[in-house]
Amino acid sequence: MGQAGAGRPGGVGFRPLYRQVYDMLLKRLADAVWQPGQMLPSEGQLAVELGVSQGTVRKALDALTADSLVVRRQGRGTFVADHDDKQSVFRFLKLRPDNDGVGMPTSRVTGIAEAAASADERGRLDLVRAARVVRIERVRAVDARLCVAETISVPASLFPGIATLELPNTLYSLYATRYGITIATANERLKAVALGAREADLLQAPAGTPALEIDRIAIDLEERPVEWRLSTCLTQEVHYLSVLR
């Protein structure tokens, strides 16, 4: 594999060789060539197949690991990240107990239905006017503390039949294993709000209680917005942890 078409070093459009390998491996993940939890070929095998050095492959895999798309397991190999893994769960769930507990979150679905997409849903998910969505309403607990009420909207065309399923605690794992859609990144907006009547009922708290609203758009490996999640969080005993690098 050469760098033909990549541009001159330092020139417009130039991408280092390891980033080109990264893109090729990312395409395989997007095409579900390797399933969540599956072990990738060795660095040596990939290097021979792609016609690059083993060091270049290692650098590309390091970048995929940094993006939490693959997981290195000492003495075993490199595996496609599984969103049921604790590392993957906490990559997207940033709420932590104030007492430093690290228990896995739990969830309970309170409603699910397919409907015509609202104007907001069409705008956030880049949908056409006639599109339909599946809306999932659920509550979540962190370290057994009921603290999140959320509404999740996904395009019905990408997730056929999801409204009839028994949904797992970690939806992103279901997206990957059943629908071949891997969440790569998420954009979140945070705002201080007062607890509304519906959220207050779900969270068993007084309406008007100060809360944190997390507005998230989840992006898949093909750079499509595939989920809009609006979470209302009580923060009396939990906090939002953001690690800046």
Q: What is the pLDDT of residue 102?
A: 65
**How far is Cα 35 from Cα 43, in angstroms, rounded to an integer?**
18
Q: Tell me: the pLDDT tens digits for 132-159?
A: 999 999 999 988 889 999 999 999 999 9
Closest C-alpha to 37, from 89, 105, 86, 83: 83
**How far is Cα 160 from Cα 73, in angstroms, rounded to an integer?**
34
Q: What is the pLDDT of residue 78?
A: 92
**DSSP letter (8 states) at residue 113:** E
Q: What is the pLDDT of residue 212?
A: 97
**pTM here?**
0.76
Q: What is the pLDDT of residue 5?
A: 40
Question: Which residues of the chain are under the pLDDT cut of 50?
Answer: 2-12
Q: What is the pLDDT of residue 83?
A: 64
125-143 residues labelled b (16+ CB within 10 A) or e (exposed)? bebeeeeebbbbebbbbbb
Q: What is the pLDDT of residue 86?
A: 57
Which amino acid belongs to residue 17? Answer: L
Q: What is the pLDDT of residue 201?
A: 96
Q: Strand 183-194 and strand 238-240: pairing?
A: unpaired
Q: What is the pLDDT of residue 37?
A: 84
**DSSP letter (8 states) at residue 242:** -
